[in-house]
Structure 1
């Protein structure tokens, strides 16, 4: 696996840069923010993730290791491939994504091109705490009312009635009052799934 590249920047296009390392020019796909930091003719260092498919090998580049780790975690979500993971990181910084997932902020996630309401709910459910803590400091814990609204809205969006969703949330919150939104949502889904 190619984990990082250091070399001279040969070209920078809107979605890809070519970096020469060891006499080989590597095409590196990256976010606009990462590409904006590269200058043709100057040396660059990027963290990379190599995605191998049956018909292709694509190298993705990142300004820092945190972005690369988040990129890899995003691809563990069903329906999220490398292109969509890169689009998410082009729209939200890793810490903004952590905050959106921790608060089940569906509106923030659906601002990403290619992520609909169901996709945003999958991100919240499947990523959970995999992204780790914010690098810029701790998140403020959302209030109980905000958590209730977020969890109930997500459950209703998944097809449960509001009454059932509120009942499940109430049971879960009593059992785990300190839990954050993703944990509350997963536990509520277990209760609702058992009742079907």
Structure 2
């Protein structure tokens, strides 16, 4: 298995790059974020996963081993191939994917092009217990989990201001959950809070119109 590549970058395209390894140009498929960090003529080091099919051998490149781990875990989900798994990583950071999986947030996955509501629900169900937030350990200090939840919320499309306010409101509402440091539960609570605030805002708009 080819687990990593190191060498000068000779080409960077829209969805792939070529790295020269001892005179051999090896092409990798990668997310726009990973490709944005590569520069032609500069040295690069990427983690890789080699996907072998009957008619092809394709290398996928990642910024680090953590991204590759999430990619390979996604491949174990029914109906998720390497390109779709890469698309998930193009939309969400690894930790945001872990948090969404732990929280059962199928809407996060339906934001990925090519994944519909049914597919998103299947992904959440099959990832249950396989992907958990890195710091989802009881007793984690608030400042540690707060950054995790904030990052996940921003990955789901909320602004930093709105996400931060919702987290604070959720913590005030249920301090016993916040005390556990369980990122998945805190995210669920925060998302529910945002849903309630959105419903109240819509109701006020309707009444005032």
Aligned residue runs from structure 1 range 98-137, under 5 A? 98-134=98-134, 137=145
> Residues 1-196 of structure 1 correspond to what in structure 2 (within 5 A)?
1-134=1-134, 137=145, 139-142=182-185
Distance 2:103 2:43 in 1: 39
Q: Deviations over 1:40-61 (max 9, x none)?
A: 0000000000000000000000
C-alpha change, 1:132 and 1:104, in structure 2 (3 Å) is: closer
Count residues with an aligned counterpart: 146
- Matched-pair contact (CA < 8 Å) for 1:99–1:139: no
Alpha-carbon distance in structure 2 between the residues aligned to 1:141 and 1:67: 19
Give CA-to-partner distance per residue, 1:133-190, whole Å, 9 cap, x none: 33675643527x96xx9xxxxxxxxxxxxxxxxxxxxxxxxxxxxxxxxxxxxxxxxx
Which segments of 5 or more consecutive residues in structure 1 lack a partner in the other structure?
150-196
Quickly say closer, same or farther: Cα 1:132–1:142, change in 2 above 3 A: closer
TM-score (norm 1): 0.70
Query: Which runs of 5 or more residues in structure 2 are unaligned?
Result: 136-143, 146-180, 193-209
TM-score normalized by the length of structure 2: 0.66
Secondary structure at the counterpart of residue 39 of structure 1:
coil
Please identify which structure carries the higher helix content: 2
Identify the residue that residue 194 of structure 1 maps to in structure 2. Answer: none
